[in-house]
Amino acid sequence: MNDDVINFWLEVSDTIALNVENAIKNAASDPEVDTITKIGADGTPTHKIDEYAENAAIKTLESTGHSLILISEEIGTIKIGDDDPEIILIMDPLDGTTNALKQIPCYGISIAIAEIKDDKDINNITLGNIEIGFVKNFANEDTYIAVKNQGALKNNKKMSISNISNLSEATVCNYIYREDKERVNKLLSSIRRLRLIGAISIELCYVADGTYDAFLDTGSVRLLDIAAAQLILKENNGIVTDKLSNELSSQLDLMETTSIVAVANESIHKKIIDLIN
């Protein structure tokens, strides 16, 4: 992507976030906002608030006049526009639905973008091809952006990632409900504190900005949830692998899942990999 294309899609991402945020605020007056309306394309329950969010995002994308492939939580994979698609945009319009409904201040939007250079390559685009990452926490307006090979920013400022090297001093986010008890006990006995809020894209960004020292899910997190934030973390010198220390390289697909170990530095990464394996 050249700079003009990058800036265009960053502006679109910002507009999507603004429109989704307004849709969520307006949805608060709907007494059925927390109702489960269907099972989404990703196989999880869709609340009415999710539909408000996704509809606002799709409407914004349709207004750009550009053709693209959209991969989104509720609607699945669709093509927007009549021309050959320029990008694949993978999006969770509302990450942290339960938090939004209960007003726990950690919920927002995740947008990741990869350029389509050749129609023949559409099915071969992977997580490693993501060139733009955008995550916004609607509760406090914190906005994280990254452009591949150009770094990452929080609220348009550089971030300071953690330099903690001892697990005994580390704050770790771990989706422990997917873990076996033995592994959880090993982790809990090795770290300083555990945190789990329930908005994966934002919590991955917490590693990028130094709030957390590490994030891990050794089960099966969806690419949809991590596509944008993993780029943000890597562009701020963080490390992102699967639980076996392999680089994440899965194809961009709604149902694709992976384990993830996302950390601030190599020292913490090695210790966590050794611990969980």
What are 19-71's pLDDT values in tens digits?
999 999 999 899 999 999 989 888 888 999 999 999 999 999 999 999 999 99
Q: Mean of the pLDDT values across residues 119-137?
A: 88
| Contact yes or no for 45/17 (Cβ under 8 A) | no
- The predicted pLDDT at position 180 comes to 66
Q: How far apart are CA 194 and CA 176, in angstroms?
A: 10
Which part of the chain is CATH 3.40.190.80?
167-276
- The predicted pLDDT at position 40 comes to 87
Q: How far apart are CA 164 and CA 162, in angstroms?
A: 6
Binding-site members for Mg(2+) are: 73, 92, 94-95, 225
Place 250 in a pLDDT band, splitting at 50, 70 and 90: confident
Q: Reply yes or no on whether the pLDDT at 122 is more than 70.
A: yes
Structural domain 167-276, CATH architecture: 3-Layer(aba) Sandwich (3.40)
Binding-site members are: 73, 92, 94-95, 225
Q: Reply yes or no on whether the pLDDT at 183 is more than 80.
A: no
Q: Reply yes or no on whether the pLDDT at 178 is more than 60.
A: no
Place 187 in a pLDDT band, splitting at 50, 70 and 90: confident
Q: Reply yes or no on whether the pLDDT at 188 is more than 90.
A: no
| Contact yes or no for 258/250 (Cβ under 8 A) | yes
Phi and psi for 81 in degrees, rounded to 5? 95, 160
In 28-133, which ranges are continuous DSSP H helix? 48-62, 97-102
- The predicted pLDDT at position 85 comes to 94
Say how far residue 160 (Cα) sits from the centre of its chain. 20
Instruction: Supply the mean pLDDT for the chain.
Output: 92
Say which residue, 191 or 185, is predicted with more confidence: 191
Place 120 in a pLDDT band, splitting at 50, 70 and 90: low
Topology of the domain comprising 3-154: Fructose-1,6-Bisphosphatase; Chain A, domain 1 (3.30.540)
% of the chain with per-residue pLDDT over 70: 97
Q: What is the CA radius of gyration of the chain?
A: 18
Which part of the chain is CATH 3.30.540.10?
3-154
